């Protein structure tokens, strides 16, 4: 192996993220990122030199995409599954972004022992969506952890964000729209005031199935609900707004 070489196993593939030459190592037998991660990486507010934590980072796609949003970002992705975290770290090396992105293997529920209080000014999360008891639990451990709250609940993730952020810090999350009431209640319980929200629909005429929410710690109440996002046209192709995202635009 030559210095700097990144090894890809037989069950993995390299995908082009179609932005800034970024590439991502994925394992189809484990799980691959979805458009939810793309939406969140373009919805979250990012300023130059922000310190950003991505909770439940999975493939590491969100830190990679966020790295193109502003200058001088320092990003950390936290992932519980060691194999998945190692794969995400290889994606970082593949893109030669070790100086700005770090992947850490750890349990989001142990946030107080993992990272100092108020150590990030932006936290993002694409957490498991479904409480245990809703939907079918996957037989694949990695997929079960990614989809169901078997290792981290909504409350666990929000509590971690509260600990990591100082007053004025921002927390952005993508989640299922049917859990919006839970999301808003838990955010307020943890001093994270919802400030921006957008509902995501698979297509016009369909009910929203995804919600994007950004909250600010210790902020005054003032929630702005932006226009709906439609992912697909009637013929199944991506809408112009989604095409702009993949071309590097923001929500």
pTM (two decimals): 0.90
Q: Is residue 69 a part of any domain in this protein?
A: yes
Average pLDDT over residues 143-148: 46
Q: Is residue 2 a part of any domain in this protein?
A: no
* Strand (E) or helix (H) holding 124: strand 122-125
pLDDT tens digits, 24-60: 999 998 888 999 999 999 999 999 999 999 999 999 9
Q: Cβ neighbours of residue 70 under 8 Å, at least 6 residues apart? A: 46, 47, 48, 49, 50
Q: Output Rg (C-alpha) for the chain, integer angstroms.
A: 17
Q: Is residue 18 a part of any domain in this protein?
A: yes
Domain of 182, CATH number, reads 3.40.50.150
Strands 13-16 and 23-26: antiparallel
Domains: count for the chain: 1
Q: Is the pLDDT of residue 149 over 50?
A: no
Reference 125, options 69, 169, 63, 201; nearest CA is 63
User: Given the structure tokens 């245990």, which residue do they identify?
Assistant: 132
* Strand (E) or helix (H) holding 210: strand 208-217
* Domain range for 86: 13-246
Q: Is residue 3 a part of any domain in this protein?
A: no
Q: Is residue 177 a part of any domain in this protein?
A: yes
pLDDT tens digits, 68-115: 999 999 999 999 999 999 999 999 999 999 999 999 999 999 999 999
Reference 53, options 153, 147, 173; nearest CA is 173
């Amino acid at each position: 192996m030559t210095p700097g070489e990144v090894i890809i196993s037989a069950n993995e593939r390299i995908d082009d993220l179609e932005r800034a030459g970024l590439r991502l190592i994925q394992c189809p037998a484990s799980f691959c990122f979805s458009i939810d991660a793309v939406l969140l990486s373009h919805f979250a507010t990012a300023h130059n030199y922000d310190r950003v934590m991505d909770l439940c980072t999975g493939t590491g796609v969100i830190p990679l995409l966020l790295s193109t949003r502003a200058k001088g970002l320092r990003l950390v992705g936290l992932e519980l599954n060691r194999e998945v975290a190692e794969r995400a770290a290889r994606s970082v090396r593949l893109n030669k972004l070790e100086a700005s992105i770090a992947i850490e293997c750890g349990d989001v529920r142990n946030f107080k022992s993992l990272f100092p209080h108020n150590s990030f000014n932006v936290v993002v999360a694409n957490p498991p969506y479904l409480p245990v008891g809703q939907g079918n639990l996957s037989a694949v451990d990695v997929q079960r952890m990614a989809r169901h709250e078997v290792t981290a609940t909504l409350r666990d993730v929000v509590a971690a964000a509260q600990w990591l952020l100082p007053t004025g810090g921002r927390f952005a999350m993508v989640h299922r729209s049917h859990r919006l009431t839970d999301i808003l209640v838990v955010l307020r319980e943890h001093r994270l005031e919802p400030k921006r929200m957008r509902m995501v629909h698979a297509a016009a005429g369909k009910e929203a199935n995804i919600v994007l929410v950004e909250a600010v710690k210790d902020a005054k109440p003032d929630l702005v609900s932006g226009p709906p996002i439609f992912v697909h046209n009637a013929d199944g192709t991506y809408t112009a707004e989604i095409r702009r995202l993949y071309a590097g635009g923001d929500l």
